Amino acid sequence: MNNSDPALGTAIDAVAVACGVARAVQGDLDRVRQITKDDRSPVTVADFAVQAIIVMALRTAFGEVLIAGEERADRLRTDEHAGVRDAVIEVVRTIHAGVTAEQVLAAIDACDHDAPAEAYWTLDPIDGTKGFLRGEQYAVALAKIEHGQVVLGVMGCPNLSLDWSRPFDQADPHGAIYAAAVGSGSWQWPADDPPGKPRPVRCGTGQGSGPAKTVRVCESVEAAHSRQSDTQRILEHLELVVEYTHLDSQCKYAVVARGQADAYLRMPTKKGYVENVWDHAAGMLIATEAGAVVTDTTGAQLDFAHGRKLRANRGVVCAAADVHGRIIEAIETLGIAATV
């Protein structure tokens, strides 16, 4: 992978460590639930611990950095959440043995940047919380944004197999890491061997197979994440035979990027909904550098120059180049864009 930005190597290493940490928490759900007395707490512990570990890695490499992310440590400072706080600190200490509780909490709080700066990072420590709790797909997503453009993105998918024959609802023992930088393409590694030789990632043509033109579409397991009825209307309008695959998180971008699927549509479930930058930055760059096209539902490029939200965009369409334009035309013809 040819890229001179040292930030990319740091990001890959940090995400690889974070994937190992998240996998360890996921593999110890019952014990974490016992400690914290909360059925959902394992994903909360992984969320906060991964955020702290990645922030510490970036600070070690670059000093103080600006990071926009979702999590803050406010509730961890309360007595009510002492069990979760203690579990988070225990996990972080598996990587940084001498770290204090306050250092962990301060690292978590470092992701409070409102994203007006010319250069900053954005982080989603555990994207796909329900997938995490089911033992299925989730992602650790880290990206760097400069002047409103995503310049590098790294996404760890701890349960996603590089072997396409493995079902998405089965956790892979190795996982996968995807990385991209502007102009350098997209690449993949086993998550447990990031220093190994990377393999290039290329999107498929989207032409489908057979006379009926089959198109392979990624959808969320959770129907609440996207208006799936709109996706169905669009594909019916195009008279395509559709093969659906269901998985959580930004892993869907990677599945399109590597040519295992032809499209991923995120159709807003309510009018006026605006996406968070950390939910799309890393995945978008990985997909586009692999040859896919990523826009909003009107065909406009995703605009990361409006703070922590994609305020200039509505919805997301990620697809192989030969399919993307047809999807956007269908959305316009059906009047769907006007409703989101």
Give, for all 340 residues of the chain, the pLDDT tens digit: 666 678 999 999 999 999 999 999 998 877 777 666 566 778 889 999 999 999 999 999 999 999 999 888 999 999 988 989 999 999 999 999 999 999 999 999 999 999 989 999 999 999 999 999 899 999 999 999 999 999 999 999 999 999 999 999 999 999 999 999 999 999 999 999 877 789 999 998 765 444 457 899 999 887 665 678 888 899 989 988 899 999 999 999 999 999 999 999 999 888 888 999 999 999 999 999 999 999 999 999 999 999 999 999 999 999 999 999 999 999 999 998 656 5
339 noted as active-site residue: no
C-alpha–C-alpha distance, residues 125 and 336, integer Å? 32
- How does pLDDT run across 205-219, given as a tens digit for each residue? 765 444 457 899 999
Residue reference for tokens 């089911």:
134
Closest C-alpha to 179, from 104, 101, 254, 278: 254
C-alpha–C-alpha distance, residues 207 and 82, integer Å? 54
Listed in sequence order, the residues at least 6 apart from 84 whose beta carbon sits closer than 8 Å to its beta carbon are 36, 38, 41, 44, 45, 48, 75, 76
129 noted as active-site residue: yes
For 94-130, the DSSP string reads TTSTT--HHHHHHHHHT-B--S-SSEEEEEEEEE-HH
Choice among 129, 288, 295, 297 that is catalytic: 129
CATH architecture of 6-201: 2-Layer Sandwich (3.30)
Is residue 240 within 8 A of residue 329, CB to CB? The reply is no
What is the rounded average pLDDT for all residues in the chain?
Answer: 91
Q: CATH 3.40.190.80: which residues of the chain?
A: 214-339
CATH class assigned to 214-339: alpha beta
Q: CATH 3.30.540.10: which residues of the chain?
A: 6-201
Choice among 44, 47, 262, 295 that is catalytic: 47
C-alpha–C-alpha distance, residues 96 and 99, integer Å? 6
- How does pLDDT run across 85-119, given as a tens digit for each residue? 999 999 999 999 999 999 999 999 999 999 989 99
